[in-house]
Amino acid sequence: MREITVLELKQWKEEGKDFQLIDVREQFEYEMSNIEGENIPLSGILIEADKISKDKPVIMQCRSGARSAAALMQLEQNLGYTNLYNLKGGILAWAAEVEPGMKVY
């Protein structure tokens, strides 16, 4: 499984790199705090896979990196995705290293 750090993600955003960011947390979690991107909860990841690009890098993220890793593995194993990255440490790492004022839970 390929991973990307929050500092690498920050750099991609600053450079305007073309990628897709998918937050696999539940909607209520996404509404509390997020780093943008689309919200596709883990429970519906295979059902809504048509919303996930196969043509550019896709970063999967959650609170800590565990659910996004599970989503990434489901997409790779069941649908043949090869362009996925897991955000190491999830939104907790983003809040700690990039956006210290972010509300976390």
Is residue 48 within 8 A of residue 10, CB to CB? The reply is no
d(CA 88, CA 11): 15
Catalytic (active site) residue 62: yes
Residues 6+ apart with CB under 8 A from 60: 22, 24, 68, 69, 71, 72, 84, 85, 86, 87
Which residue out of 62, 75, 91, 95 is catalytically annotated?
A: 62
Cite the active site residues: 62
